[in-house]
């Protein structure tokens, strides 16, 4: 439980760092894209080697079911984000950003509790945690940038960017309790988490306009996490 809470607080902290950095210092969006690509490579590597491969050791059919269910869940959440992002009023924008952070909290909560129960290795926990923590920094920056573009002050942009990530530790704790209630379906949790991570990588972490720097950054992140997983 303490591990789950600690992991949730740290990823919330990294989201806050991103909001603070972009509000206090001028950041080139191109560097944000490079950071997002690097995080995408990390998360893709984590999805394959830390979630899907361990899950396949249980059951192929259950993995397929978990992938489909995970996809349905994240697509539904994405629809909620689109719904509340149409109107750029204060409350709508904040709700959209907050909903978007829920899957990250779920993934970190799952990783910590599965490690505690012996379902995944320490290297898998570290790789998943690093991937999500790193991608939360540019994500927090994007939230603050959105508010700044609406004319908010630096202070308000920081506060709202920080608050948008508060659901992450909450989702971690809720996931901890749900997992312990339904620990017999661990393979579905593994596959569902992999599905959510793949969706996030495809839709949010790989820029639509790729250049050599973002491509190399993506491969660097992938290889970095592959090496980390091998060494640990």
- Mean model confidence pLDDT for the chain: 78
Q: How far apart are CA 139 and CA 154, in angstroms?
A: 17
CA distances to 18, 111, 166, 206 from 35, rounded to whole Å, are 11, 23, 22, 10
Whether the predicted pLDDT of 27 surpasses 70: no
Contacts of residue 171, defined as CB under 8 A and 6 or more positions apart, other chains included, come to 8, 101, 102, 103, 104, 105, 106, 109
- Asked which of 9-18, 113-122, 173-182, 200-209 is least confident by mean pLDDT, the reply is 200-209
Angle (nearest 5°) at CA 169 between 197 and 164: 80
pLDDT band at 95 (very low <50, low <70, confident <90, very high): low
Helix axes 90-116, 167-181, angle to 10 degrees: 40
pLDDT at position 198: 87
Q: Is the pLDDT of residue 67 over 90?
A: yes
């Amino acid at each position: 439980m303490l591990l789950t809470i600690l992991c949730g607080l740290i990823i919330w902290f990294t989201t806050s760092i991103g909001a603070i950095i972009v509000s206090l210092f001028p950041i080139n969006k191109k560097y944000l894209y490079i950071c997002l690509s690097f995080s995408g490579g990390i998360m893709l590597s984590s999805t394959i080697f830390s979630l899907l491969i361990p899950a396949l050791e249980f059951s192929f059919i259950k993995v397929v079911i978990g992938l489909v269910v995970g996809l349905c869940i994240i697509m539904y959440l994405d629809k909620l984000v689109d719904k509340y992002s149409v109107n750029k009023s204060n409350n709508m924008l904040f709700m959209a950003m907050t909903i978007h952070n829920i899957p990250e909290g779920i993934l970190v909560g799952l990783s910590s509790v599965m490690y505690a129960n012996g379902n995944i290795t320490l290297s898998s926990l570290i790789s998943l945690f690093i991937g999500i923590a790193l991608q939360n920094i540019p994500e927090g920056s994007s939230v603050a940038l959105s508010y700044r573009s609406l004319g908010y002050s630096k202070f308000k942009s920081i506060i709202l960017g920080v608050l948008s990530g508060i659901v992450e530790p909450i989702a971690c704790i809720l996931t901890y309790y749900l997992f312990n209630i339904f620990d017999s379906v661990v393979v579905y949790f593994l596959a569902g988490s992999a599905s959510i991570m793949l969706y996030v990588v495809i839709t949010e972490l790989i820029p639509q306009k790729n250049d050599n720097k973002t491509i190399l950054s993506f491969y660097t992140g992938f290889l970095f996490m592959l090496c980390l997983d091998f060494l640990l």
